[in-house]
Structure 1
Amino acid sequence: MITIIINACTTTNIFCRPNCPPGRRTKPENRIHFKSITEAEQNGFRACLVCRPTRPADGHDWRPKSER
């Protein structure tokens, strides 16, 4: 079974994929985890515009803007 963990920042109210560069810079004391995108959205968080966790991963969890 695959477990998906969504990282969220309590200061920005943004959730990211686990390997998103901006999300990884979140201070540990400001980071919380959700088991699903739906759970994060229900708690008032919005999707990151860098890693776009609400879109299918298409084999890559994150790509630089120059490759999108």
Structure 2
Amino acid sequence: MMTPADRYLNATGAAFDILKSESQLSGAIFGEVAMTCLITMVVLLVAVNSKTKTPLAPFLVGCTVIINVLAG
């Protein structure tokens, strides 16, 4: 057994202790929506659209993902 039962029952995961109250929920949802829109827009503009397609698409998408991870 890797984790004792009492520690397993108390584990909530690292992602769920960021929000301390429900008043922060709207800001977290807005941030998630904004970052999702940003990555979607970058992918569509640099990798899909034939007028704005660029060979730098993988680099630009990767930079956007890194910015999103660092932002939240």
- Range class of TM-score, shorter chain: under 0.3
Pick the structure with greater CA Rg: 2
Which structure is higher in helix share? 2
Which structure is higher in strand share? 1
With structure 1 as the length reference, what TM-score do the two structures score?
Answer: 0.24
With structure 2 as the length reference, what TM-score do the two structures score?
Answer: 0.23
